[in-house]
Each structure stands twice: as structure tokens, then as C-alpha cells.
């Protein structure tokens, strides 16, 4: 078929419809495409980075170094981010390990939150009972952050240091965090109320009901890990499995 014939067929097709009908149809199709793009972007997150977050000494850098197979296995308290790439399921994923230091972690969270695909929130399963307040404070800030939660990233709570004989299991940690976040929700709401009666309180979870992770509009998963291998099996296999799922 020649180009001239193609043009004639197209002209004939167009002449069957008036321009208003065609303009409405084009707007409608564009609208559907825009809505589809919005939902696809929303479900997959805006960025392509996995953020490792958590309070200091949880084991973020140790896990990071193991995953990127760095020879440097010695970790010291991080004062800035570490960035690296891992290959999972044939895809490369960028991981950013953020410092847990209380004075600087907020500034790093603000700097990197726009590129989040998933948050791997690392906790020390042995010390968690005595650190639960500090851990819950940081987790609360993540769960109510407008930018971080805008694209509903998957949040994986990594219950690390499971090699410790007295380590708490992920289900115990989940309950401890739920209780602490519930208490924190009341204190934060009261603090905001006392500042401005008209201020809209960004409440975590559902009203008139104790906080549960399942009330959130995005997925929060709990896994167990250790940087130490056990019987030849990597203690980080749960982490790599989840990295593959979110890749």
C-alpha cells in the first residue's frame, strides 16, 4: 500500500466523525492514560532506591557491606550515607544506608526520601525491648512522612542480630512496636493539640482503635536476619528474598 493511499484512507476515516467527537475521544483516551500512569507510579514508588533506616547500632551498614560484598566488613557508626548496587533476580538495585545517629538522621531522611522504592527498617532484636521508644519514634516519623508514604513504598522491618541467644522474634518485636506506636500516637496528638487546636492531626492508623500495622494503607512486612551464616546458609537470605520482591 502506498503512502498516498494510506493518507486517503485516514482522511476518509476522519471525515466520518466531526472534530468535536474526535477531540472528546482524544481527551478521554489521554485521561485514561494519565490515570493509568498515576496508578502504576503509585504502586511501584517514585524512585529506585532501597533506603536502609533504623537507629544507630542496629546493623544497617553491616548488612549493606555484606550485600554489596565489600571486603571492608568493619563498621563504625555512620555519619553519612553509604551507597551501593546489588544484583537481585537479574536486576540491579540501588541501596542507600542512612546513618541512625539521632542528631543527623532527619536531615538524611529528608535528603533521600524522594528516591524511595522501599524502606528496610533495621532493628537490633536483642536490645529492642530497652530501645523500643527510640525505635518507635523514628518509625513513627517514617510512617507519617508525606513524601515517604506518598507512593506507598513497601516497608520491611528487618529484625536483625537473630544469632544472639536472647534475640526477640519478629512477632514479639511487631507486638512491642505496635504497642509503643499506639502510645506515641496519643502523646503526639496531645502535643499537637496543645500547640494549635485547629491543626489537623496526622493520626497513625485508624481512629478509636488501637494501632495495628495492618491499618496502614501500605504494606509493612517483618523478617528476621543475622549477618552471621548458619550451617552454610546466609543469615541474610530473608533480606535478599525481599530485595528481589521489591526490585
Query: Per-residue x/- mask for ligand GTP, residues 18 to 37, rule CB under 6 A?
Result: --------------------
> Nearest approach, Cβ of 173 to ligand GTP (angstroms)?
14
Does residue 20 contact residue 104 with C-beta atoms inside 8 Å? no
Q: How far is CA 153 from the centre of its chain?
A: 4
Q: What does the per-residue mask of binding to ligand GTP show for 60-89, with x meaning CB under 6 A?
A: xxx------------x-xx-----------
Binding map of ligand GTP across residues 122-151, x = CB under 6 A, - = no contact: x-----------------------------
160 binds, among Mg ion, ligand GTP, none (CB under 5 to 8 A by kind): ligand GTP
Q: What torsion, rounded to 10 degrees, do the Cα atoms 36, 41, 42, 48 define?
A: 170
Region binding ligand GTP by CB under 6 A among candidate stretches 95-103, 109-117, 136-144, 204-212:
95-103
The least distance separating Mg ion from the CB of residue 76, rounded to whole angstroms, comes to 8
Q: Which residues of this protein are in contact with Mg ion, per CB under 5 A?
A: 60-61, 78
Q: Which of 113, 142, 118 is nearest to 55 (CA)?
A: 142
Alpha-carbon torsion (10, 11, 17, 19), positive or negative: positive
Contacted entry of Mg ion, ligand GTP, none for residue 48, CB cut-off 5 to 8 Å set by kind? none
8 A C-beta contact, residue 96 and residue 49: yes
Binding mask 101-120 for ligand GTP (x = CB under 6 A): x-------------------
Give me the sign of the Cα torsion angle 121, 127, 132, 135. negative
CB nearer to ligand GTP: pick between 46 and 57: 57
Alpha helices per DSSP H over 45-169: 60-67, 105-112, 128-143, 146-150
Q: Which does 131 bind (CB under 5 to 8 A by kind): ligand GTP, Mg ion, none?
A: none
3-state class percentages of the chain: helix first, strand second, coil last, to nearest 5: 50, 15, 35
Neighbours of 24 (CB within 10 A): 11
Give backbone dihedrals phi and psi of 157, rounded to 5 degrees, phi first: -90, 115
Which is nearer to Mg ion, 45 or 54 (by Cβ)?
A: 54
Of the two residues 60 and 188, which places its CB atom closer to ligand GTP in the complex? 60
Choose between 62 and 155: whose C-beta lies nearer to Mg ion: 62
Number of helices and strands in the chain (H, E): 8, 6
CB 120 to Mg ion: min, Å: 13
Kindly state the smallest distance separating residue 115's Cβ from ligand GTP, in Å.
19
Amino acid at each position: 500500500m502506498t503512502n498516498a493511499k494510506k493518507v486517503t484512507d485516514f482522511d476518509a476515516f476522519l471525515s466520518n466523525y466531526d472534530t468535536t467527537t474526535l477531540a472528546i475521544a482524544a481527551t478521554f483516551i489521554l485521561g485514561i492514560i494519565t490515570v493509568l500512569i498515576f496508578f502504576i507510579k503509585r504502586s511501584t514508588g517514585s524512585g529506585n532506591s532501597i533506603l536502609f533506616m533504623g537507629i544507630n547500632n542496629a546493623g544497617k551498614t553491616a548488612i549493606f557491606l555484606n550485600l554489596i560484598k565489600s571486603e571492608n566488613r568493619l563498621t563504625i557508626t555512620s555519619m553519612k550515607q553509604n551507597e551501593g548496587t546489588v544484583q537481585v533476580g537479574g536486576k540491579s538495585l540501588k541501596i542507600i544506608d542512612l546513618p541512625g545517629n539521632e542528631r543527623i538522621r532527619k536531615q538524611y531522611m529528608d535528603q533521600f526520601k524522594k528516591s524511595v522504592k522501599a524502606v528496610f527498617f533495621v532493628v537490633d532484636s536483642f536490645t529492642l525491648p530497652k530501645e523500643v521508644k527510640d525505635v518507635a519514634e523514628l518509625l513513627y516519623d517514617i510512617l507519617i512522612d508525606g513524601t515517604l508514604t506518598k507512593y506507598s513504598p513497601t516497608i520491611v522491618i528487618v529484625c536483625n542480630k537473630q544469632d544472639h541467644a536472647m534475640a526477640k522474634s519478629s512477632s514479639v518485636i511487631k507486638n512491642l512496636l505496635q504497642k509503643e506506636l499506639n502510645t506515641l500516637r496519643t502523646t503526639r496528638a496531645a502535643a499537637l493539640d496543645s500547640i494549635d487546636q485547629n491543626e489537623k492531626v496526622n493520626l497513625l492508623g485508624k481512629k478509636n482503635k488501637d494501632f495495628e500495622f495492618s491499618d496502614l494503607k501500605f504494606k509493612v512486612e517483618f523478617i528476621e536476619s543475622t549477618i552471621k551464616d548458619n550451617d552454610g546458609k546466609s543469615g541474610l537470605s530473608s533480606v535478599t528474598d525481599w530485595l528481589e520482591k521489591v526490585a
